[in-house]
Structure 1
Amino acid sequence: MENKSVFQANLFAFILLLLYAIAPMALIPIFRRMNISSELYIVLPQILLLLIPTIIYFIITKKPIKDTLKLKKIGIKSIGIIIAVGIFAQPIAMFLSFITQFVFPNRISQVVSSLDDIPLIVRLCIIALIPAICEEITMRGVVLAGYENINIRKAALMTGTFFGILHLDGNQLLYAFVLGIIFAYLVRITGSIYSSMICHFTINGTQVLLSELATKMMRLGGESVELAQNTGISSMSKAQLINTFFSMLILGIICLGIIIILIGKLTKIYGKDGLEERETSVKVMNWPVYGALIVYAVVILVELVGT
């Protein structure tokens, strides 16, 4: 059985992915001619390729913005729990990023580090605040709303998949997928998109702050920041790789357990309405999903061939 809302959500996600795959070919030359700053280079694509399509989506579908995006206030206690979820999600994301670095370079850390000369508050806006707003409005707003009548496990897996492939980066796939699942649970439990926005901001913001701290420590120690950014795991010995793998794995498992406990606390505050069993027979795999997976596979293959 096919569901119209699910199809619309999948189609919307597919269009976003297609835009992210194709639009840079037109936007990059324009940005270069305009000689725009590195800050705008990062911000403009999110506005043009995420926010504008979302506005068009609401104009076409005429769906209620407040209900679709779940613009609902959350309490201070909930905010504290959500921030804690974001903090404990870091080791899990770092472990998954570490695994994928054996195949794909960690470009996001290089991007964050390349903005070191920009004031910290501006970097937090570029890397943490704007993505937390733009990406959540599309993924946990529009797309997750399409899965409103689908059980949470299936909805979280699908939105997590779209979130992972939307980044069009092999290194970010696994951890973005897992974080997307966590974000979906937060929104379903709290009934508010602000929960995933806060968690998203916490994760990205922490990375910016850690990068700032690491850069200052390396400079104080007289180490080359540029060299550290570009070597990654290639500079580690086999023994170091094995030790790092198991250390990060154990830490990741512990943090996952803590996150489950924290989500349980949120469930006690808001009840289990968001986790109740819903429609399970609805078909969620349709041509927009397959199309999105094909587009992602092509982009990644081109990336691998080019390296």
Structure 2
Amino acid sequence: MIEQEQMETRNQLTISEANTFFIILAVLFLTIGGYVQSRELISGLLITEFGIMALPILIYTAIRKKSVKEIFKFRKLQLKTIPKIIVLAALMLPAVAVANLVTIFIIELLGESIVSPVPTASSPSEFLLLFAVIAGSAGICEELFFRGAILNAFESDLGKKWGAIFSGLLFGIFHFNPQNLFGPILLGIMFAYLVQLTGSIFAGVIAHITNNGLAVTLGYVNNLFSTVDTSSSGVTLNSPSALIAVMGFYLMVAFVCLIGIRAVLRSLRKQYSVTKLWVDEPLTLKFKHYLPIALSLVIYALVIKLAYF
């Protein structure tokens, strides 16, 4: 019995540990991360991803003599799983677009949205650099933290279903961008589901790299064929009616893609001999579960006040 408890302790991070890291990293992300990225974007992103997101939690886990392999799910991924995950991540894009457009629509009704500059490549060398940094480093480091540490702590305490949902919520909140909230939440939940289904963190990494990589690629292709300089601009929709029209289009595409998403998930469940991954179980929340979300909402309120008022 004692040995079993010791094994569980080695294989799990506690909610308190996860919450502490989330709050500390959120502050570092907004302060040091924001500062280094404002000085030079590429090096700043690398410092943020590796120095803030990934290395601290890996070092802490090793120092505490916990099982890095179990907590971060470092397990091989079957080769035939990889193309399925890539297709699934691509099919998620329209749904993510709808989710983010809903957020922008709400902001437009209340005030005026602020276009967030998105770096795009204008040459092959820039494309490779942005792909490596925005898709590669973010896909690795953010998955280690959210689908590794955060997911491990919350699913150990609340079960797989609610662990995945909380992991997605915190992932979306951590972007600290009101216009980019619902999309990352949706992606975070799906990435967590894939990690749980395959038992490997690499499922989330591949899906994350695919999502970010497609965004970088679409930006590059747009630059190649556009006569307007869009190297550091975002998409501006000037009226609620235009937003509704675009949302309607993406919503129709998302419904079509949903058929493909269901087919891919069905194939993955069959491949991994899983009939039902998420069990319907009662949710019992304590203050420790609310804490990171509550503190993040305070930070969000400050971000919104500074940005929009």
Do they superpose with TM above 0.5?
A: yes
Say whether 1:142 aligns with 2:145.
Answer: no
- State the Cα RMSD in Å: 2.7
| TM-fit CA distance, 1:45 | 1.6
In structure 2, what is the Cα distance between the partners aligned to 1:26 and 1:41? 8
Counterpart of 1:22 in structure 2 is 31
Counterpart of 1:259 in structure 2 is 261
The 3 A distance-change label for structure 1 pair 6 and 253 is: farther
Say whether 1:194 aligns with 2:197.
Answer: no
Answer with 70-79 or 45-54: which moved more: 45-54
The 3 A distance-change label for structure 1 pair 230 and 124 is: closer
Match of 2:277 among 251, 275, 278: 275
Counterpart of 2:176 in structure 1 is 168
Q: Which runs of 5+ in 2 are unaligned?
A: 1-11, 108-112
The 3 A distance-change label for structure 1 pair 20 and 101 is: same
TM-score normalised to structure 1 length: 0.84
Name the count of aligned residue pairs: 288
Match of 1:123 among 123, 130, 135: 130
**Residue 73 of structure 1: SS of its match in structure 2?**
coil
In structure 1, what is the Cα distance between the partners aligned to 2:143 and 2:95? 20
Q: Tell whether the 8 Å contact from 2:61 to 2:68 is kept in structure 1 after alignment.
A: yes
Counterpart of 1:214 in structure 2 is 222
Q: What per-residue deviation string (whole Å, max 9, x for no partner) do you get for residues 229-251 of structure 1?
A: 356112xx665443322111121
The 3 A distance-change label for structure 1 pair 170 and 289 is: closer
* Matching residue's letter, 1:189: L
In structure 1, what is the Cα distance between the partners aligned to 2:259 and 2:301? 32
* Matching residue's letter, 1:264: R
| TM-fit CA distance, 1:282 | 4.7
Q: What per-residue deviation string (whole Å, max 9, x for no partner) do you get for residues 80-106 of structure 1?
A: 110011110111112222233343435
Answer with 184-193 or 48-57: which moved more: 48-57
Q: Tell whether the 8 Å contact from 1:70 to 1:193 is kept in structure 2 after alignment.
A: yes
Q: What per-residue deviation string (whole Å, max 9, x for no partner) do you get for residues 245-274 of structure 1?
A: 211112123323422331222111113388
> Identity rate of aligned residues, in percent?
27
| TM-fit CA distance, 1:172 | 1.3
| TM-fit CA distance, 1:165 | 1.0
* Matching residue's letter, 1:123: L
Q: Tell whether the 8 Å contact from 2:86 to 2:206 is kept in structure 1 after alignment.
A: yes
**Residue 138 of structure 1: SS of its match in structure 2?**
helix
* Matching residue's letter, 1:259: I
Say whether 1:293 aligns with 2:290.
Answer: no
The 3 A distance-change label for structure 1 pair 278 and 46 is: same
TM-score normalised to structure 2 length: 0.83
Say whether 1:74 aligns with 2:77.
Answer: yes
Q: Tell whether the 8 Å contact from 1:9 to 1:144 is kept in structure 2 after alignment.
A: no
Q: What per-residue deviation string (whole Å, max 9, x for no partner) do you get for residues 141-168 of structure 1?
A: 1110112333332112111111001111
Q: Tell whether the 8 Å contact from 1:97 to 1:106 is kept in structure 2 after alignment.
A: no
* Matching residue's letter, 1:11: T
Q: Which runs of 5+ in 1 are unaligned?
A: none
**Residue 139 of structure 2: SS of its match in structure 1?**
helix
Say whether 1:97 aligns with 2:128.
Answer: no
In structure 1, what is the Cα distance between the partners aligned to 2:283 and 2:232? 50
The 3 A distance-change label for structure 1 pair 137 and 231 is: closer
